[in-house]
Amino acid sequence: MIEEQHADPTPAWIETSALTAPALIGAAAGLLLGDLMHQNARRAIGIGIGALGVAALLPFVVDGVTGLITGPRSKVGVRRKIQKIRDAGIGVPDYDEVDHELREQGVM
Protein backbone atom coordinates (compact mmCIF):
# COMPACT_ATOMS: atom_id res chain seq x y z
CA MET A 1 0.00 0.00 0.00
CA ILE A 2 2.85 2.39 0.78
CA GLU A 3 4.42 1.62 -2.61
CA GLU A 4 1.21 2.68 -4.38
CA GLN A 5 1.28 6.08 -2.67
CA HIS A 6 4.82 6.81 -3.84
CA ALA A 7 4.48 5.38 -7.35
CA ASP A 8 5.40 7.57 -10.32
CA PRO A 9 2.19 9.20 -11.61
CA THR A 10 3.51 9.51 -15.19
CA PRO A 11 1.84 6.95 -17.49
CA ALA A 12 4.21 4.50 -19.17
CA TRP A 13 3.23 5.50 -22.71
CA ILE A 14 4.30 9.11 -22.10
CA GLU A 15 7.73 8.01 -20.90
CA THR A 16 8.09 5.62 -23.83
CA SER A 17 7.21 8.28 -26.39
CA ALA A 18 9.60 10.75 -24.76
CA LEU A 19 12.41 8.20 -25.02
CA THR A 20 11.54 7.32 -28.63
CA ALA A 21 11.45 10.90 -29.93
CA PRO A 22 15.24 11.60 -29.93
CA ALA A 23 15.90 8.40 -31.87
CA LEU A 24 13.33 9.28 -34.50
CA ILE A 25 14.64 12.84 -34.82
CA GLY A 26 18.19 11.52 -35.12
CA ALA A 27 17.14 9.08 -37.82
CA ALA A 28 15.45 11.93 -39.69
CA ALA A 29 18.60 14.04 -39.51
CA GLY A 30 20.68 11.11 -40.77
CA LEU A 31 18.42 10.61 -43.73
CA LEU A 32 18.33 14.29 -44.56
CA LEU A 33 22.13 14.53 -44.50
CA GLY A 34 22.94 11.19 -46.11
CA ASP A 35 23.83 10.91 -49.79
CA LEU A 36 22.75 7.31 -50.32
CA MET A 37 19.26 8.05 -51.63
CA HIS A 38 17.81 10.24 -54.30
CA GLN A 39 17.33 13.78 -52.96
CA ASN A 40 13.52 13.87 -53.24
CA ALA A 41 13.06 10.42 -51.66
CA ARG A 42 15.53 11.27 -48.89
CA ARG A 43 13.74 14.53 -48.15
CA ALA A 44 10.28 12.91 -48.04
CA ILE A 45 11.36 10.08 -45.74
CA GLY A 46 13.31 12.50 -43.51
CA ILE A 47 10.33 14.81 -43.14
CA GLY A 48 8.04 11.84 -42.39
CA ILE A 49 10.32 10.44 -39.69
CA GLY A 50 10.84 13.93 -38.27
CA ALA A 51 7.07 14.35 -38.04
CA LEU A 52 6.88 11.03 -36.17
CA GLY A 53 9.51 12.30 -33.74
CA VAL A 54 7.56 15.46 -33.07
CA ALA A 55 4.35 13.44 -32.67
CA ALA A 56 6.14 11.19 -30.15
CA LEU A 57 7.03 14.27 -28.06
CA LEU A 58 3.50 15.70 -28.08
CA PRO A 59 2.12 13.56 -25.20
CA PHE A 60 5.04 14.66 -23.01
CA VAL A 61 4.48 18.32 -23.86
CA VAL A 62 0.71 18.09 -23.38
CA ASP A 63 1.19 16.37 -20.01
CA GLY A 64 3.58 19.13 -18.91
CA VAL A 65 1.23 21.91 -19.98
CA THR A 66 -1.72 20.16 -18.34
CA GLY A 67 0.32 19.88 -15.14
CA LEU A 68 1.03 23.60 -15.22
CA ILE A 69 -2.62 24.48 -15.75
CA THR A 70 -4.31 21.99 -13.41
CA GLY A 71 -1.40 21.00 -11.16
CA PRO A 72 -1.46 21.26 -7.37
CA ARG A 73 0.20 24.70 -7.38
CA SER A 74 -2.14 26.30 -9.93
CA LYS A 75 -5.41 28.06 -9.13
CA VAL A 76 -7.43 25.20 -10.61
CA GLY A 77 -5.46 22.62 -8.62
CA VAL A 78 -5.90 24.51 -5.36
CA ARG A 79 -9.64 24.86 -5.98
CA ARG A 80 -9.92 21.14 -6.75
CA LYS A 81 -8.07 20.22 -3.56
CA ILE A 82 -10.24 22.51 -1.43
CA GLN A 83 -13.39 21.07 -3.02
CA LYS A 84 -12.21 17.50 -2.27
CA ILE A 85 -11.63 18.48 1.35
CA ARG A 86 -15.10 20.01 1.55
CA ASP A 87 -16.71 16.98 -0.09
CA ALA A 88 -14.92 14.61 2.29
CA GLY A 89 -16.69 16.31 5.21
CA ILE A 90 -20.12 15.53 3.76
CA GLY A 91 -19.76 11.80 4.34
CA VAL A 92 -21.86 8.89 3.13
CA PRO A 93 -25.59 8.94 3.89
CA ASP A 94 -26.71 6.49 6.56
CA TYR A 95 -27.75 3.07 5.32
CA ASP A 96 -31.18 2.01 6.49
CA GLU A 97 -31.88 -1.73 6.27
CA VAL A 98 -35.63 -1.31 6.62
CA ASP A 99 -35.83 1.11 3.69
CA HIS A 100 -33.67 -1.21 1.62
CA GLU A 101 -35.86 -4.24 2.34
CA LEU A 102 -39.06 -2.29 1.64
CA ARG A 103 -37.66 -1.06 -1.67
CA GLU A 104 -36.68 -4.61 -2.68
CA GLN A 105 -40.20 -5.85 -1.90
CA GLY A 106 -41.72 -3.01 -3.90
CA VAL A 107 -43.55 -1.46 -0.97
CA MET A 108 -41.69 1.86 -1.28
Higher pLDDT, 11 or 5: 11
Q: Does residue 99 lie within any of the structural domains?
A: no
Q: Does residue 104 lie within any of the structural domains?
A: no
Crossing angle of helices 39-70/75-90, nearest 10°? 50
Q: Does residue 100 lie within any of the structural domains?
A: no
Domains contained in the chain, number: 1
Q: Which of 31, 49, 53 is nearest to 40 (CA)?
A: 31
Q: Does residue 103 lie within any of the structural domains?
A: no
Per residue in 29-55, pLDDT (tens digit) is 877 777 777 878 878 888 888 898 888
Q: Does residue 106 lie within any of the structural domains?
A: no
Domain hosting 72: range is 2-91
Residue 89: CA count within 13 A, CB half-sphere: 5
The DSSP secondary-structure symbol of 74 reads S
Q: Would you say 72 and 47 are in contact if contact means Cβ atoms under 8 Å apart?
A: no
Q: Would you say 33 and 69 are in contact if contact means Cβ atoms under 8 Å apart?
A: no
